[in-house]
Structure 1
Amino acid sequence: MRTRFIGLACALGLAAAALAAPAAQAGPGPSTPDTGRLLQHQDAALRQLSGLPAWARERSPGQWLDANGDLVVAATTADADAVRALGARVQVVARGKAELDGALARVTALLPPAPTGINSWGVDPVANAVSVQVTPAADPALVARLRAVEGVTLVTVEGSPHQQSGTVQPGNPWWPGSESNCSVGFPVTDAQGGKHFLTAGHCTNDVNQAAYGESGQRNRLGTSNVGGSRSVNAREGDMGVVAVTETGWTLSAAVNTWGGTPVTVTGSTEPVVGQTVCHSGNTSKWSCGTVRRVNQTINYGNVIIDGLATSTACSLGGDSGGAWLAGDKAVGLHSGGPSQCVDNPGPDDESIFQPVNEALGKWGLTLYTGAPTGNDFSVGVSPASLSVERGRSGAVTVSTQVTSGSAQQVALSASGLPTGVTASFSPATVTAGQSATLTLTASANATTGPATITVLAHGTSADRSASLALTVGGPPSGCTAPAWNATVWYQAGAVVAHKGHTWRATWAAYNIEPGGSWDWGRWSDLGAC
């Protein structure tokens, strides 16, 4: 049974008998002159951000785009002059990245596994604080403890986020079995050339479920969540895959803007606060807005999801799983509300989306951008997996190849790094056809376990990405681990010894005894030592 969810009907999709797109009122799309100029300005700012050296991005407590589309880099007094020397506009802030990370860890440690009345929490780079959305239903004692944490800002709202759904008018939907429709997201291909599209995880939670292009279980296009390993609707994210297997269905990279000029997707990007984004929805049609928050933990009530982004753009029930765009770059998959599609939306009136690069990297999929035209290139990582122990480094080769036209300059960066892991490229910029070495270094306190790293390649005329499966190891088992201390803040993945056992923190913990009555699963018993 599918859970609730919003989806954007990004008519990018698949058109077999082509899903008909009835005429609709178009919102302010990329073809609007002012919006087009702003998007070009923001694109230049994002290239400036990707061109900054790794140390500047990693030490900065945040970056965002202002109302004019200019890049702003937050820096402490100690780093401000060095960042300015790189040509970046600097906003001097009081709290550094380590302080914000510490405040976020303290907030996470205070929250129970299912916090009632706590909508979301995460770093707000513009405010230089950790922002926590609370409702009147929140426990007053918990609210008081959160308010007492240095570096935390509480935002009181009335409603709560929800994953939207509903039977809505036809447009460019797809149907999971006999359930109400979701929306088609971005078309992708696998390593064997198989056709698929990305959508919402809660739209694909049934294993091997038939997917249709019409209601009433008609016009089958393929199968969602093949084998049960192609859908996530949990802390990891809200994303899923539908395999396109039926004869006659083809992929299209042209996004339906509902009356405007279709937008052809040329690559993917990460969301940045202040960035202009648009989405195409089966219900809300074409809507644009501004990224308000990134890397947020959202409490939907039935599920808590990490790493989501929010926007002021309008969305409605039936939009679930559709495509979010930043100019002509794929940026996200629609997840939920509570958008009410009103003017001047407040803090509890926003749309929520799953960053698309995480989905591409998780399943090793390539964004479909149509037949290559002009200058283009590919990027790959070898080996495709890497294990690094805490306190050590490991390296892989990042190779690029010209696939059409002439060679172009390509700037390399990485996203999805676990806490305590840094990435450096040598060189950081190559000419398509050349290779670089990516070195990943894990600190002594790095978060352990598996992670998917997305290698982003920003070219002069195209953007491409590749994924790397990273495993960060911990210290050796046994009582050689440091003894648990009630006064220490522990990050997720920290390993301690207590009462003859070794324990690993499943999420941040403070003053919570491993195996004690108030453990609530915050510590995992690794065995006697």
Structure 2
Amino acid sequence: MITAAPASLAFSEEGSGSKEEIPYSSSEKLPYGFTSLSALMKTQDTLDEFAHKLSSAAESIKDPGYSSVEISIKDRQVIAHWKGEPVAAVKKILENPPAGFSYKLLQAHYSHTELIAAQQKFVRQVLGDKNLNISGVYPLPDGNGLGVKYSGEEKAARNVGAVSAAKVSVKLNSGQKPHFTFGRYTDTSPYWGGAVYQTIRNNQAIWECSTAFPVKDANGKKLMLSAAHCVNQGDTVAVPTSYPTHKDPAKRKNVGVAVSSDMDHDTALLDMGSLGAKIYRGPAGSNASEAITGWSYTSVGDLLCTSGAASGEHCYGQVESVDTSMFASFPGSDELHSVEGLAWATSTTNSVLSAGGDSGGPVFNDYGSGIKAKGTTSMHSEIISCGATYSLNPNLQCSTDVYYLPMDFLLNRWGVDLITS
């Protein structure tokens, strides 16, 4: 639970329809020699859109050899992994990348269909065995087998039934057990992403998480994206009115309810009333903000930033895998559960990328004048010290990685549109 000092927010009274809007200016050093955020993100977006076009074509016509597609921002290249040769229609797309970009076609041992089937079988076996040493499984980006995350001794992991019985190659990836990322502080209407909210049951705040992005359903109803492990459908949602006295019922305000919660994918929708198309940026407690201008796809190789309520903003993470299944127990339960469809990103500098309290919060890309939504935070696994930056909260648990739900999946899952500025 957060024990940091209250955010120095300067908001107007609720109902006035406005907050003080303080623009955010990033000081992050750009990678790969880029000198502007807009050029970096334009390169990534172009590659992501081409990768999505290629993989969508392969899946729609059921190309039997399709395995995976990843990107290289540094090389301005899409890397396609195929078992054999692409069918003619897909190969035509691959051989015509956008001007100024290139492609590479590499052979894979397995098709995407084979790896997903093997992954699903692996998940069923781990859940059946209730093996707590295996923390996750994902198709390797090169199409040459499954990546398996484990904690403890490698010998013990190799003897796990799901590993030894796998009909595809398995690459073991040592790490720590995953943790859901529980929870700028005292948000007011219209509510923005990256802020603290509380789950209320029996008039008690049982934990805190982060808001992410506002969306609109087919009926025009505005809802806020967050994480399912934070709320059950029907839970009351509140925001603190002061910090750190957030445990006092007199210091919080009930603002809505969780209307939907999908545990299999760790995504939820909150009805919080009035929402704004902005997210909080900067360190924990910051009142700086940025407008949401759109959303972007996720590919292996992507760069991204996070901005959860507990630990604030962190750039850059880089996507290591997609279609990832992670094993964890939901709060209040000892039952092992799999969360499907996650993307996994790790810090490019081995520094903090997420922390406890950031669950449900924004994963995004910075364009220098507005941000694009990339997904919502679910969990993390590689625990490190938070360092002096978070000295006001000595119990905060930080991590060098983050698992998140990609934005295209979220919009399709809920049948909603992102609200933009």
Give the TM-score, by structure 1 length: 0.57
Is the contact between residue 222 and residue 242 of structure 1 (CA under 8 Å) also seen in structure 2? no
1:394-429 Cα offsets, whole Å, 9 max, x none, are xxxxxxxxxxxxxxxxxxxxxxxxxxxxxxxxxxxx
One-letter amino acid matched to 1:281: G
Q: Name the residue aligned to 1:225.
A: 258
| Aligned residue type for 1:225 | A
Q: 1:116 aligns with which of 129, 132, 135?
A: 132
Structure 1 residues 16 and 321: CA distance shift in structure 2, 3 A: farther
In structure 1, what is the equivalent of residue 396 of structure 2? none
1:2-49 deviations in Å (ceiling 9; x for gaps)? x99xxxx9x9xx995878899999662889835543221111112222
2:365 paired with 1:322? no
Distance 1:26 1:42 in 2: 18
Q: Does 2:285 align with 1:253? A: no
Q: Secondary structure at the match of 1:297?
A: strand
Question: Residue 119 of structure 1: CA displacement?
Answer: 0.5
Equivalent residue number for residue 510 of structure 1: none
Give 2:50's aligned residue.
48
Code of the residue aligned with 1:131 in structure 2: it is: G
Deviation at 1:65, TM superposition (A): 1.2
Partner of residue 143 from structure 1, selected from 141, 147, 160? 160
For residue 144 of structure 1, report the CA deviation from its aligned partner. 6.4
Q: Which residue of 1 aligns with 2:119?
A: 104
| Whole-angstrom distance in 2 between the partners of 1:160 and 1:19 | 40
Gap change, CA 1:15 and 1:145, over 3 Å in 2: farther
Q: Is the 2:51–2:299 contact (alpha carbons within 8 Å) kept by the matching residues of 1?
A: no
Q: Report what 1:190 is aligned to.
A: 217
Contact 2:144 2:169 in 1 (8 A): no
**CA distance 1:338–1:15, shift in 2 (3 Å):** farther
Given the alignment of the two structures, is residue 353 of structure 1 paired with residue 353 of structure 2, yes or no?
A: no
CA RMSD, aligned part only?
A: 3.9
CA apart distance, 1:76: 2.9
Asked if the contact 1:195/1:251 (under 8 Å) is kept, the reply is: no
Query: How far apart are 1:286 and its partner, in Å?
Result: 1.1
Q: Give 1:291 deviation, angstroms.
A: 1.0
Aligned to 2:266, the other structure's residue is in SS state: strand
Offset of residue 261 of structure 1: 7.9
| Corresponding residue of 1:154 | 171
Q: Give the corresponding residue for 1:464.
A: none
Q: 1:106 Cα shift?
A: 4.6
Q: Name the structure 2 match of 1:77.
A: 84
| 1:313-462 correspondence to structure 2 within 5 Å | 313=347, 314-327=353-366, 328-340=371-383, 349-370=400-421
Paired with 1:97 and 1:368, the residues of 2 have a C-alpha distance of 33
- Return the alpha-carbon distance in structure 2 between the equivalents of residues 30 and 340 of structure 1: 25
Letter in 1 for 2:281: N
Gaps of 5+ in 2: 98-102, 188-194, 331-336, 348-352, 387-398
Match of 2:196 in 1: 173
Contact 2:266 2:339 in 1 (8 A): yes
Which residues of structure 1 form unaligned runs of 5+? 371-529
**Hey, what's the Cα distance between the residues in 2 that align with 1:116 and 1:20?**
47
- Once the two structures are superposed, what CA deviation does each residue of 1:486-509 show, in whole Å capped at 9, x if it has no partner? xxxxxxxxxxxxxxxxxxxxxxxx
Deviations 1:165-209 (A, max 9, x none): 25x966831222323422121012233333221111122226241
1:94 to 89, 94, 109: 109
Specify the SS of the correspondent of 2:85. Answer: helix
Q: Distance in 2 between matches of 1:342 and 1:49?
A: 36
- For residues 256-335 of structure 1, the aligned pairs below 5 Å read 256-258=281-283, 262-288=289-315, 289-302=317-330, 303-313=337-347, 314-327=353-366, 328-335=371-378
Whole-Å Cα distance in 1 between the matches of residues 175 and 56 of structure 2?
40
Distance in 2 (alpha carbons) for counterparts of 1:56 and 1:304: 27
- Which whole-Å CA distance do the structure 1 matches of 2:328 and 2:235 have between them? 25
Which amino acid in the other structure matches residue 71 of structure 2?
A: L
- Secondary structure of the equivalent of 1:298? strand
Q: Partners in 1 of 2:384 and 2:24 — Cα distance?
A: 16
Aligned residues: 348
Structure 1 pair 191/269, CA: closer, same or farther in 2 (3 Å)? same
Give the Cα–Cα distance (whole angstroms) in 1 for the partners of residues 342 and 378 of structure 2: 9
Structure 1 residue 253, shift from structure 2 partner: 3.1
**Contact 1:255 1:265 survives alignment (8 Å):** no
Asked whether the 8 Å contact 1:74–1:93 carries over to 2, the reply is yes
User: Aligned partners of 1:48 and 1:326: how far apart in 2?
Assistant: 18
What TM-score, normalized by structure 2, do the two folds share?
A: 0.70
Distance 1:306 1:73 in 2: 23
- Deviation track 1:294-334 (CA, whole Å, cap 9, x = no partner) reads 11110113432111111114101111111111343312111
Secondary structure in 2 aligned to 1:49? helix
Q: Which amino acid aligns with 2:365?
A: A
Conserved? CA contact 2:310–2:358, under 8 Å: yes
Once the two structures are aligned, what percentage of the paired residues are identical?
20
Structure 1 contact 132–152 (Cα < 8 Å) conserved: no
Distance (whole Å) between structure 2 residues aligned to residue 329 and residue 23 of structure 1: 16
Aligned partner of 2:107: which letter? V
Name the CA distance, whole Å, in 1 between partners of 2:43 and 2:182.
35
Distance 1:364 1:192 in 2: 11
